[in-house]
Amino acid sequence: MKQFDVVIAGGAMAGMTLALAIDSLAHGKLRVAVVEAYQVDHQAHPGFDSRSIALSHGTVQILQQLNLWQQIEPVATAIKHIHVSDQSHAGMTDIDCQDIAASALGYVVELADVGRIYHHKAMQNPQIELLCPNSVTDIERLQTHNVVTLDNGEQLQCQLLVAADGAISACCAQIGIPLREHDFNQVAVIANIRTQVAHNGRAFERFTHQGPVALLPMSDNRMSLVWCLRPEQAKKVLGLSDAEFLLNLQTEFGWRLGQLTEVGERASYPLLLRYRENNVSHRFAIVGNAAQTLHPIAGQGFNLGIRDVASLAEELVSSLEDVGRYSVLSRFKHRRVEDRTRTIEMTSSLVHLFSNDYLTMRIGRNLGLAMMDNVPQLKSPLLLRTLGLVAR
């Protein structure tokens, strides 16, 4: 039976970041296994597909501390400016990197690029073992350790098992940790877009009567689109020709980037809040989408997950002799309660506020956007959470 300090179920963004974070902070003193159901290959792994994600300013600071940012930065596109507006109404606000005296508000990275970088780093690390394609089929939790059985019959012994295996976590289901779920009745349509006018590091979020449209700057003057629609409208939009799709998107987004000229392959996924209130159990912790999956309206999901990952790694290396003991996991749980709760509440409130067309809501959100743009005291709290500059 192979012996590890930590076994991580799930080798996508959260799981691989955690493995590399543990090794960086523990200076190679902890043995880590990453169990992944898909071949860890950036071209095949669904966790490292063609999608892009926005890394907040705070997330970049964490990745710098973990010695991960240096290799990611060359494939990242800086967000210099964020423009937020409400379709057909006057309310809008702007956030510029000069507001925080930084070179960027955040960065956009393609998951495939990060997957390639992470895989290369893990393969070169003797303290990290990648077990794939494998999945966890049985978990036996004893007083001093866990015995984790894989689908090939192999057994692993570890002090701590971490579930990073996605929103519908098989490990959490085996342990019996309940999942709370709320359906926003929206679907995210994602694609890469080319525009007539160069983005120059600008990101846009536009609230429409169906939901938000976000365009994030990417390399090669592309934009990453996240278009939130009612399910029936999303189905219709996905069936349009490229020209019809761009025409519909142009109508919703407007002309701030000139004509929308090209669209790449389209995909979609339903938008739900999935949340596990308990992120620890006996010799068991939960991170990433397995802990919470958020609506993309404020780009908070992955960045919240990275704060979970960094906090867990920090607590583990404070107790190298037994990383799975109760006191370690208890500190992690209590350390993360406030940030998780506030971020989930903020995201859900924004969806409710900006995804309907009631007159009172329209007036309220337009007044709010206008006041945010003119009253710094109102802008600061939301700005800090958007930028990931929050206590963890």
**Residue 89: count of CB within 10 angstroms of its CB:** 14
Torsion (CA) 243, 247, 248, 251 in degrees, nearest 10: 170
Number of alpha carbons in the 13 Å side-chain half-sphere of residue 177: 23
Cβ contacts of 173 within 8 Å, gap of 6 or more: none
Pair of tokens at residue 86: 């409400």
Is 359's pLDDT higher than 50?
no
Q: Which of 351 and 368 is assigned the larger pLDDT?
A: 351
Q: What is the pLDDT of residue 358?
A: 46
**Can you give the residue ranges of every domain in the chain?**
2-77+109-181+272-351
pLDDT at position 381, please? Answer: 60
Report pLDDT digits (tens) over 191-247: 999 999 999 999 998 888 888 899 999 998 999 999 999 999 999 999 999 999 999
Provide the 10 A C-beta neighbour count for residue 105: 25
Q: What is the pLDDT of residues 286-326, one digit of tens each?
A: 999 999 999 987 788 999 999 999 999 999 999 999 999 99
Residue 368 has pLDDT above 50, yes or no: no
* Residue 375 clears pLDDT 50, i.e. is over it: no
Nearest to 125 by CA among 26, 39, 45: 26
Read off the pLDDT of residues 8-22 as tens digits, 9 standing for 90 and up: 999 999 999 999 999
Q: What is the pLDDT of residue 286?
A: 98
Q: Does residue 75 carry a pLDDT above 60? A: yes
B/e letters for 235-260, b = 16+ CB within 10 Å, e = fewer, are eebeeeeeeebbebbeebbeeebeeb
| Position 374 pLDDT exceeds 80 | no
- Which helix (H) or strand (E) segment holds residue 64: the answer is helix 57-65
**2-77+109-181+272-351 CATH fold:** FAD/NAD(P)-binding domain (3.50.50)
Give the distance from CA 20 to its chain's centroid: 17
Residue 369's pLDDT is: 45
Confidence (pTM)? 0.91
Cis peptide, bond prior to residue 217, ω within 30 of zero:
no
Lowest-pLDDT range of 95-99, 234-238, 325-329: 95-99
Confidence band (pLDDT; 50, 70, 90) for 50? low
pLDDT tens for 226-241 read 999 999 999 999 999 9
Q: Is the pLDDT of residue 125 over 80?
A: yes
Mean pLDDT of all residues belonging to the chain: 88
Burial grade of 371 (CB within 10 A; 0-12, 13-18, 19 or more): middle
pLDDT of residue 371: 43
pLDDT for 365 beyond 50: no
Q: How confident is the model at residue 104 (pLDDT cuts 50, 70, 90)?
A: very high
Percent of the chain with pLDDT over 70: 87
For 265-292, what is each residue's pLDDT tens digit? 999 999 999 999 999 999 999 999 999 9
Burial 25-50 (b: 16+ CB within 10 A, else e): bbeeebbbbbbbbbebebeebebbbe
Q: Tens digit of pLDDT for each residue in 145-177?
A: 999 999 999 999 999 999 999 999 999 999 999
